[in-house]
A and B are shown apart, each in its own frame.
Chain A
Amino acid sequence: MFKKILIANRGEIARRIMYTCREMGVATVAVYSDVDRNAVHVLEADQAVHLGDAEPAESYLNIDKIIAAAKETRAEAIHPGYGFLAENADFAERCEQNGLIFIGPPAPVIRELGDKTVARQTMIKNGVPVIPGMTRPESDPQTIAREADGLGYPVLIKAAAGGGGKGMRVVQTRAEIREACLSAASEAASAFGNGSIYLEKYLARPRHIEFQILADRYGNVVHLLERECSIQRRHQKIIEETPSPAMTPELRERMGKAAVAAARASGYVNAGTVEFLLDRDGSFYFLEVNTRLQVEHPITEMVTGIDIVRHQLSIAAGDPLNMVQEEIQGRGHAIECRIYAEDPEQGFYPSPGKITYMKEPSGPGIRNDCGVYAGFQVPVEYDPILSKLIAHAENRDAAIQRMIQALQAYVILGIRTGIPFLIDVLRSEAFVTGETFTDFLISNFVDWKPERTAADMACIAYIIDDLAGQNKTKVSSAGAGEILSPWHSLGNWRR
């Protein structure tokens, strides 16, 4: 096993990787930008290396600086986390060239799976069902229009290099297709530096179901059951659960086999996720492979008892997988809610700023993978994820109740979060009955506002806080972590 690794990421995921490293006796090196000097991943690492400006290109996306930091600290391997350089084949290649082990799949595998049309060809060749559509990128709108006629409307235009909904367009009629091709191609070109697009049949109201896989260097591949991630906003997942309310043992068996076949077909090594769309008639289609540790990996860890990061490190160090498919069993039900710095009443606009007070929920079956603390200034430069709250209970109903209680007990002051919105989603009839499809939020939660039933209680809190403030010098009104000078407490004497 490695003696020391560098974690090329920040926030909650860097911290989560460190937990496992400490358990394994592996020393950790954090990297950080100017605005993250006091970030939790820096405070908890054994060593930390400053990269530079907050701008990602100068820090967390800067391959040269990260490799130099690993060499300087004599780290043997680099864990990329998710986002930033996690699915960058060039980075994986540069690590290998510099004698560093990249904790993830080999560079050619990342490259091949990153191109959606190449990945589709690989899956077709190996008998994995894909959504009907094109297998080569195309730039001519007329050719695409002819393909669309063959498939039948509605169709979906996607970027070959795509992800996160960029360069994606649903097209309902032939009249719209030319314009949609042009705008999708230009969006893809600016987002990925590659304007290639292709066409798929559009599935109305599917479920998003993915399988966690682990593969070692010796051809052993297992899957760690499914996760359902249908609750999305702007193609970003916000609530994930396992098992899926739509799953049957027979379907799980078939989809799991397809996931393992997809991993084998691409020569996959390390942890990855095979994503599928599940249609209402029970047919499923390959969507893509995410060649990284997923944000939502903790729910799989909760139900299987398997530490995925531990296996990522073992596989990268050259160990064979020490488990077989038949041993992998899920117990109970786990749900994850992503806690973002955002204002759900203002169109989910990001809400960065200083956290003035924070109280994390706890209790049986509660896990909070958290990257912030009271006094921390949430920067504007990065993804707004603050933490991931996970509830594990013996069945789905109990897990929903456990999650609602934990969300209600979660206190974050100073910035806005999506917590009140998540509470209402979990309470909704559609969620409780498992009617979860990718159009869930637009079908059920347009123009959401919380029910403010405790207005009198809020006013009483104001009154008590006001009276308490009159009874003492409000030295504490400055947030934690700020340096107090005598001038602050002089009040009216200050000129």
Chain B
Amino acid sequence: MHYRFKMSEETLTYGVDPVKENHLKVSTGEKTLDVSYTVITDHHVHWVVDGVGVNAFVTGEKGEKTILIRGVSYVVCDADRAERTRKGARDLTRLPQVITPPMPSVVIRIMVAEGDSVQKGDSVIVLTAMKMETTLTAPFPGRVTGINVSVGEKVMPGKILVDIEKEPEDTQST
């Protein structure tokens, strides 16, 4: 059996060969690892490779799981699955192309006006959530064509707060 994963920008491929119950041979590139594992709880797996034990903690659905190993998190996507369900799946590796809050927030400052031109990385709007302020920035150079919210408004993820029309690729920015 084969797995193809996407992690950040990388694609990683593994061949998996179940030897017996709770025992796998996992091959990647040149090396083959002998993995004997135990499922401790629904979120905790433990295995031994080359005599060394590893604890990993897993959450998430089929297709995209977050794995925590020694304090560092890894978002692992099943690349084959993601391709099958391209429309529905969230592809976290792509940069956001729209100005939308990552979580429920309140607008506290709008830093652009309709007609303004913005450079990639320019501050566009300031939001607050959990008592913290966050500035959303322009994902690409362009022109502001619409402001869809006002100061003090509660906004949800998915709502486009500011419309920015992308600058045509072939024109040099001034």
In the complex, the answer to whether A356 meets B59 with C-beta atoms within 8 Å is yes
B59 touches A450 (CB 8 A): no
Question: What is the CA–CA distance of A273 and B157 in the complex, to the nearest angstrom?
Answer: 40
In angstroms, Cα B133 to Cα A40, docked, is: 27
Number of A-B residue pairs at CB separation under 8 A? 146
Which residues of chain A come closer than 8 Å to B45, judged between CB atoms?
461, 464-465, 468
B90 at the interface (CB under 8 A from A): no
Which residue of chain B has the shortest Cβ distance to A345 in the bound complex? Answer: B73
Interface residues of B in 40-66 (CB under 8 A from A): 41-45, 47, 49, 54, 56-59, 61-62, 65-66
The reply to whether B28 and A456 form a contact with Cβ atoms under 8 Å apart is yes
CB within 8 A of B56: which of A342, A356, A450, A457? A457
A277 lies within 8 A of chain B by Cβ: no
**With contacts A348-B132, A413-B66, A454-B74 known, is A461 near B103, CB below 8 A?**
no
Interface check A419, CB cutoff 8 A? yes
Q: Which residues from chain B contact A460 at a C-beta distance below 8 Å? A: 14, 26, 33, 35, 47, 49, 54, 56
Complex contacts, B5 vs chain A, CB 8 Å: 459, 462
- List the one stretch of A24-32, A93-101, A113-121, A403-411 in contact with chain B: A403-411
Do B70 and A455 have beta carbons less than 8 Å apart? no
Tally of contact residues, B, Cβ under 8 A = 51
Whether, in the assembled complex, A341 has its beta carbon less than 8 Å from a beta carbon of chain B, the answer is yes
Complex: how many Å from CA A469 to CA B61? 10
Q: Is A163 an interface residue (CB 8 A)?
A: no
Docked complex: B1-51 residues within 8 A CB-CB of A: 3, 5, 7-8, 10, 12, 14, 16, 18, 24, 26, 28, 33, 35, 37, 39, 41-45, 47, 49
In the complex, what distance in Å separates the CA atom of A436 from the CA atom of B109? 33
A352 to B73, CA, bound (A): 17
B71 within 8 A of A: yes
Taken residue by residue from 68 to 109, chain B's Cβ proximity to chain A (1 for < 8 Å, 0 otherwise) reads as 111111101010000000000000000000000011100000
User: Are A408 and B70 in contact (CB-based, < 8 A)?
Assistant: yes
B47–A455 contact, CB under 8 A? no
Within 8 Å of chain B (Cβ to Cβ): is A269? no
Please tell me if B112 contacts chain A, counting CB pairs below 8 Å: no
**Chain B nearest Cβ from A120, distance in angstroms:** 27
Q: Mark A337-379, 1 if CB is under 8 A from B, else 0.
A: 0000110001111111000110100000000000000000000
Determine if A452 is an interface residue (Cβ-Cβ < 8 Å): yes
Q: Which residues of A contact B35 (CB under 8 A)?
A: 460, 464
The chain B residue with its CB closest to the CB of A419 is: B71
- Establish whether residues B65 and A462, one from each chain, have CB atoms under 8 Å apart when the complex forms: yes
Cβ contact within 8 Å between A463 and B68: no
B39, B59, B103 pick with most chain A CB within 10 angstroms: B59
Contacting residues, chain A, for B66 (C-beta < 8 A): 413
A420 at interface by CB-CB < 8 Å: yes
Q: Are B59 and A459 in contact (CB under 8 A)?
A: no
Given A357-B44, A410-B71, A420-B71, does the pair A464, B39 have CB atoms closer than 8 Å? yes
Known: A357-B44, A380-B104, A464-B47. A459 touches B132 (CB 8 A): no
Q: How far is the CB of A44 from chain B (nearest CB, A)?
A: 23
Nearest A residue (CB) for B128: A350
A401 to B107, CA, bound (A): 41
| Inter-chain contact B76/A458, CB cutoff 8 Å | yes
Pick the residue among A234, A383, A420 that contacts B72 (CB under 8 A).
Answer: A420
Interface assignment of B134: CB less than 8 Å from any CB of chain A? yes
Residue of A with least CB distance to B71? A408
| A14 smallest CB distance to B (angstroms) | 17
- Which residues of chain B come closer than 8 Å to A454, judged between CB atoms? 69-70, 72, 74
Candidates B10, B28, B44, B130; contact of A382 at CB < 8 Å: B130
Q: Compute how far the CA of A408 lies from the CA of B70 in the bound complex, rounded to whole angstroms.
A: 4
Q: Does A414 contact B (CB under 8 A)?
A: yes
User: CA A381 – CA B129 in complex, angstroms?
Assistant: 7
* Chain A, range 376-398, C-beta contacts under 8 Å to B: 380-384
Chain B residues with Cβ under 8 A from A423's Cβ? 71-72
How far is it, in angstroms, between the C-alpha of A317 and the C-alpha of B8 when the chains are bound? Answer: 57
CA separation between A193 and B17, bound complex, in Å? 67
Interchain CB contact under 8 A, A469 and B62: yes
A223 at the interface (CB under 8 A from B): no
- At the interface, yes or no: A476 with Cβ under 8 Å from chain B? yes
A179 part of interface (Cβ distance < 8 Å) = no
Whether, in the assembled complex, B67 has its beta carbon less than 8 Å from a beta carbon of chain A, the answer is yes
Binding site for A on B (CB under 8 A): 3, 5, 7-8, 10, 12, 14, 16, 18, 24, 26, 28, 33, 35, 37, 39, 41-45, 47, 49, 54, 56-59, 61-62, 65-74, 76, 78, 102-104, 129-134
10 contacts between A and B (CB under 8 A): A349-B132, A350-B129, A420-B71, A455-B10, A458-B56, A460-B49, A462-B58, A465-B45, A465-B65, A467-B24
